[in-house]
Amino acid sequence: MTNNIADLEFVAFDTETTGLSPFTESLVEIAAVRFNLIQGPLEYFQTLVNPGKEIPWQATKVHGITNEMVFEAPPIEKVLPPFFQFLGNSIPVAHNAGFDIGFISLYSLRHEIIPTEQPILDSCMFSRRVLTEQPSHGLEALVNSLQITAAGASHRALADTKHCMELFRILVGRSCGINASWEDLLKVHGKTHSFNEGSRPLEENEAKSHLLPLFEALKERSSIWIEYDGGFGPREVSPLMVYAKGSQQYLEATCHLDGIRKSFRLDKIRAVKGNYSFIDK
C-alpha cells in the first residue's frame, strides 16, 4: 500500500434493494464512482438489476425503482463480475457498509463469484469518529448538514455514491488530511470491512457431526429431511449451500413445503434425516 493516500484510487459504491434482509430480498441497482482525493470523480458504474421478484411498493417509495424499470435489466449474476472488475485494486468505500456487503457477499456466494479482497472503508463509521457534533450520521442527514450537492435523485444508487464520495473527501480533510499515509487514515477511520466477512462457504469440519448429511446431500444434489426449532415437524429440503455469516452458520435450501428458497440457522436444526432415520444432536 502506498505511503500517501493522495496517490490511491477509491471507489464509493451503493446498492438499492427490494427490502432490508439479504436472506429474503434482492438487489435492484448497483452503482459506483471511482475517485481520488484531489481530483474527485474519475469513472462511473451504474446498472439496474432484475431482482427476479416483485418490488414491493414500500421499496419503490424509497428509491423510485419500479418493476417496469427492471424488466429488461440483467440478473445479479451478470452484474457482479463487471462490478468487481470495476472495483479492481481500488479501495471500496460505502456508507453503512455492512448493509451493502451483506447483499453483495451473499449473492456472490450463491452464484460462485469471487469478490475482491480489498479492505472496505465505511463513511458512516468514519463520520461518527470525526464529526462528533453531528446529531445524525445517516447519509441524507450529513448531505444536508454539510451542504453536499450531487446530480441525480436522492436514494438512487448513483447519486448516493457521489454523496458518499464527497462525504469521504470531507472526512479525510477534517481528520488526517490528503497527504497522510494509509496507516494514518486507518487510525482515524477505525476497523475496515471486507466482502468475505459478509458470507463465506462453510467447511465440513466447521459443522457439528449430526449436520454432515447436509453436505452429502449438497454434493449429491439430493433432498433431505430436517427437524427445525419452531417447525411443526420434519420438513424436506433441497440444500443449495451451507455458509457462515459472522459467527452464525446457515443452511440455504429450497423448502419442499412451499417451494421457497430459505435460510435455516444450523444451531436450530435439531436433527437430520438420512436413510429414513433421524441423526440427532
Q: End of a domain among 177, 197, 217?
A: 197
How confident is the model at residue 278, as a pLDDT? Answer: 44
Same domain as 156, residue 34: yes
The answer to whether residues 158 and 152 touch, using CB atoms and an 8 Å cutoff, is: yes
pLDDT digits (tens, 9 = 90+) for 139-197: 999 999 999 986 555 679 999 999 999 999 999 999 999 999 999 999 999 999 999 88
CA–CA dist 7, 2 (Å, integer): 7
- Tally the domains of the chain: 2
Question: Same domain, yes or no, for 222 and 187?
Answer: no
What is the DSSP code (8-state) at residue 203? Answer: P
215-235 CB burial, b ≥16 within 10 A, e <16: bebbeeeeebbbbbeeeeeeb
187-227: per-residue pLDDT in tens? 999 999 999 888 888 889 998 988 999 999 999 989 999 99
Domain that holds residue 272: 202-280
Residues 127 and 206 placed together within one structural domain of the fold:
no
| Residue-level pLDDT at 154 | 64
Q: What is the CA radius of gyration of the chain?
A: 21
**Sheet strands side by side (includes 40-48):** 40-48, 27-36, 10-17, 91-94, 121-122
Q: Helix (H, G, I), strand (E, B), or coil: what is residue 38?
A: coil
Say how far apart CA 179 and CA 7 lie, in whole Å.
9
Domain final residue, candidates 197, 213, 235? 197
pTM: 0.85
Residue 207 and residue 70 share a domain: no
